[in-house]
Amino acid sequence: MNVEKSSGYDLSYAKRAMLVVVILPLLVMYTEAMLTPALPTIQKEFAINPNDVSWILTIYLLVGTVSVALFGKLGDMYGKKKMFLVALAFYTTGVSLNGFAPSFHWLLVTRAIQGVGMAIFPLAFALVREEFPPEMVPQVQGMISAMFAVGMVIALPLGAWVTQNYGWRWTYHSAAPFAILMFFLAWKVLRESRYINPGRVDWVGAVLLTVAVVPALVGVTRAPNIGWTAEQTLVLFGVAVVGAAFLVLWEKKAENPLIPLGIVTARNPAIVNVGIMLAAFGISMMSQADTYILQMKPPYGFGKTILESGLLMTPMAGVMLVVAPLAGKVMPKIGAKPLAVAGALTASAGLAVLSKYVTSMGLWEFVTLITIVGTGITLMNISLINILVFSVPQRVMGVATGANSLFRNFGSTWGPAIAGTVMSTYYILFHPPGTPSFVQIKIPTPKAYEVLFGTSALIYVFLALLSLALVEVMKGGKIREVEDAGEKEVVVE
């Protein structure tokens, strides 16, 4: 194996491009998180029921889950910058049009357009790995992860304030100029990827992927309302299973498969994909419980507003903003695998304490614990994405990161559905003061939080054990990267 130091990479370009890819998650989380406090207002304006309003979130996720896999493959075939700009154009168009939607159905159409743009993330991860010196990649990935948390913390209280004072449409009007600016910066700063694999588009695979993914996500989203054993739910899951089976059979024989099974099922990518899916599942379950605990009135919670809840998450974002890039910096020396294990165990320990004591602890004890959990999750996520990008050849980086985003979306969808089911199973009926006697709302009991946090804790214990099976890609100041010709090592100073 040969050893080299950043040969063939333009460091000045990498620093300019880093600004683009680091700002990207801040924009997207700002846009998406601002929508959450606006949902009740949208429901009233369009006179729709709660099940209908949930489609504003669902349609974005449905389209995006298929998009990440398709655009990842197209990026490998036609150039990652080109496909990144196409995806970002869809995202910018959707964001710009959302605020002008004259009806609920038009809003769903524009949200679907925005969902196509979800592919910007796997393409951005692929560009980072392909165009940045290997020694820069862990730290840049760390900064990207940190900005997800910062964007969420900024957007939740700001979205509540904008909706309250200017209306829900301004949550999009305020984001649109930044999306346009982001597109211009990406077009001017980013360079086209150096690895391109021309070939025919696997449209049959794309259709089968849609059949496998969309019914499954629709079924998961609707199950808490209509029942997990309802006929409609079972039919949707059945169609998804059949679609997945046909997808695997087709991709095995396809000349240029949309999802090359040999790439996504190799040891490290397979473990990372399962790990990211379970991590996203655990995070989304925990987040749903956190929201209820912060906002329910005492004695069922801390009785905070959306604005106050967002501000109380600031410590977590601040710690992650420091820890994430620092972890990326030290990762080549101590290894990605130990950090993944340490992060999973840290998150698990914090969740276990929450499971047992959340109903008896004070506000700042709760904030401290969710900060610890968030830090552990950040460490694990940074480690896993770095293991993935150094475990596959750069010419198929789009496919690898696209498949990873697909698995992440599945976990993110299942989490709220299971959390909603748990909280609907363990509840008490509460009569809000000053309302008619027949008005009663369901309040999650301590048992619900025990199940949610306890299950999440067990998931992260499993992820720590799963991480032990990973093949290390960096340690002792050396990064081992997989290439078409084999492997090589890069010395990190």
pLDDT band at residue 3, thresholds of 50, 70 and 90? very low
Mean pLDDT of the region 158-171: 82
Which uninterrupted H or E stretch holds 246?
helix 231-253
The one-letter amino acid at 326: L
Task: Say yes or no to pLDDT of 50 above 90.
Answer: no
For residue 216, what are the contacts with CB-CB under 8 A and spacing of at least 6? 236, 237, 240, 410
Is-cis flag, bond preceding 338, omega within 30? no
Task: Say yes or no to pLDDT of 2 above 50.
Answer: no
pLDDT band at residue 300, thresholds of 50, 70 and 90? confident
Cβ proximity of 27 and 182 under 8 Å: yes
**Between the ranges 267-276, 433-442, 478-487, where is the mean pLDDT highest?**
267-276
Give residue 105's pLDDT. 93
Instruction: For residue 170, give both structure tokens.
Output: 């301004």
Give residue 432's pLDDT. 64
Give residue 7's pLDDT. 53
Cβ proximity of 42 and 36 under 8 Å: no
Averaged pLDDT of the chain? 85
Per-residue model confidence as pLDDT tens digits over 306-343:
778 778 878 887 888 888 888 888 898 999 999 999 99
**Between the ranges 11-20, 228-237, 444-453, where is the mean pLDDT highest?**
228-237
More confident residue, 392 or 434: 392
| Torsion sign, CA atoms 5, 9, 10, 16 | negative
Strands in 205-284 per DSSP E: none
Per-residue HEC secondary structure of 24-55 comes to HHHHHHHHHHHHHHHHHHHHHHHCCCHHHHCH
Give residue 488's pLDDT. 59
Mean pLDDT of the region 40-57: 79
Give residue 470's pLDDT. 93
Give residue 4's pLDDT. 40
φ, ψ at 174 (rounded to 5°) = -75, -25
Cβ proximity of 344 and 460 under 8 Å: yes
The 3-state DSSP class for residue 429 equals strand
Cβ proximity of 64 and 90 under 8 Å: no
237/245 Cα distance (integer angstroms): 12
Give residue 424's pLDDT. 80
Give residue 458's pLDDT. 95
Strands in 394-477 per DSSP E: 427-430, 441-444, 474-475
Residue ranges covered by each domain of the chain:
3-201+256-491
Q: Which CATH number fits domain 3-201+256-491: 3.40.50.150, 1.25.40.10, 1.20.1250.20, 3.40.50.300?
A: 1.20.1250.20
Per-residue model confidence as pLDDT tens digits over 183-209:
999 999 988 887 777 878 889 999 999
Task: Say yes or no to pLDDT of 301 above 50.
Answer: yes
Percent of the chain's residues with pLDDT above 70: 93
pLDDT band at residue 483, thresholds of 50, 70 and 90? low
Task: Say yes or no to pLDDT of 108 above 90.
Answer: yes
Per-residue model confidence as pLDDT tens digits over 409-455:
888 888 888 888 888 888 777 666 666 666 666 778 888 889 999 99
Mean pLDDT of the region 289-293: 82
More confident residue, 111 or 488: 111
pTM: 0.85
